[in-house]
Amino acid sequence: MSELFIQGPNKLSGEICIHGAKNSTLPLMAASLLCDNECILHNCPVLSDVDTSLKILRYLGCRVQRSGNDVAIDPSSADQCKIPDSLMREMRSSIIFLGAIVSRMGKAELSFPGGCELGPRPIDLHLLALRKMGVIIEEDHGCLKCSAPDGVKGTCINLSFPSVGATENIMIAASCAKGTTIITNAAREPEIWDLADFLNSCGAKIYGAGESTVVIEGVKSLSGCEHRVIPDRIAASTFLAAAAITGSTLTVSQIIPEHIAPVIPILEECGCHFDISKSSMKITAPKRLGRVKSVRTMPYPGFPTDAQAPVMAMTTLSDGTSVFIETIFESRYKHVGELLRLGANIKVEGRVAIVEGVSRLSGAPVEAADLRGGAALVVAGLAAQGVTQISGLKHLDRGYESLEKSLASLGADIKRI
């Protein structure tokens, strides 16, 4: 089992190019199932979650080839409608294949997904929406058996919460449905825009992506296309937090600054300065960060829940008290116990975490319990005195492409052993 060893404190400098977005790549790969011929996705990150999606596509009968960050998917030979339990358990996002499979095959069978344990993360919204679209779903001992004997049908769907995954599943299923589907209270995240751009390039008719109401006019078929995955805004936010906590000057490039806009005011409140261009931003951090009055996670364009943990780690060395309010997931403070091992002063009451900045962190053995919590430990370890030893790297590898190599290129003393 590999572990990361960080000798701190580190100062970062230089430029880092951000890889493609995990949370965009996975629904794009699922959506490719609807096409009649080959799709080519550029800027696909090398991540374990992406590898799992490739395994799922191959199991379903697709021909898949990967060359660096380019992935070619030919779904014309897909003939399976079932995803085995072993693959479903590898990642939570596996549920995104449901709408695509049932739309193409008329039926689907899969188990409940696995992945990071973030507390209740129900797929009820996915199932409720698909049922409204004419899909018959039977739940049997953790297995979902779905069929659409009369095909998937367009309808009006009002989401009780702007779920990204549910919005994506509906968009995919509705693209080749009979009639028009209207989603109200749809998610507005950049990944939704990216999925709509891909599907429209394949011949879909999707309007309003990125707004609260999305309209999908069903078409008879989709053809393949070439598409470039958007940059990973959470990876970019993580590097910015790492630069901030280490008092560094760093350029983050190959990004879309608009996508990171919800995080910038928090970093500016801490005393960081930015020089922003069309596809990059340069952060200059002070020697000691100021506190953040309040960070409340919200659906886009609010502060992203995925950036909460790395930014919390950043504030452990701030001058004053910072308050975090997690509104998306119930169990997203699992990194707090490990940050305490490094000398942080954090108190959690329900969905609220209060961070009292300390003068120093000290390296210690810690374990990543989930993806973004693991990133928080790396951020803290870069600024801690001595050696921070991080285990549980399987979580980090789900969402960050060779994180230790990227940080080492910026001057960090970090090794995977």
Annotation: binding site for UDP-N-acetyl-alpha-D-glucosamine = 92, 121-125, 306, 328
The tokens for 128 are 């409720």
Q: What is the SS3 assignment for 213?
A: strand
- Contact yes or no for 388/414 (Cβ under 8 A): no
Question: Binding site for phosphoenolpyruvate: residue ranges?
Answer: 22-23
The tokens for 255 are 């990004």
The tokens for 277 are 């261009």
The tokens for 215 are 């309209």
Question: Binding site: residue ranges?
Answer: 22-23, 92, 121-125, 306, 328
Q: Identify whether 116 is a catalytic site residue.
A: yes
Helices 48-59 & 22-31 angle (0-180, nearest 10) = 10
- The structure tokens 């209740």 sit at 120
Cα–Cα dist 336/355, whole Å: 10
- Which member of 39, 116, 176, 270 is catalytic? 116
Helices 164-175 & 97-105 angle (0-180, nearest 10) = 20
CA-closest candidate to residue 326, choices 343, 345, 348 = 348
The tokens for 119 are 């507390």
3-state helix/strand/coil string of 123-180: CHHHHHHHHHCCCEEEEECCEEEEECCCCCECCEEECCCCCHHHHHHHHHHHHCCECE
- Residues with a known catalytic role: 116
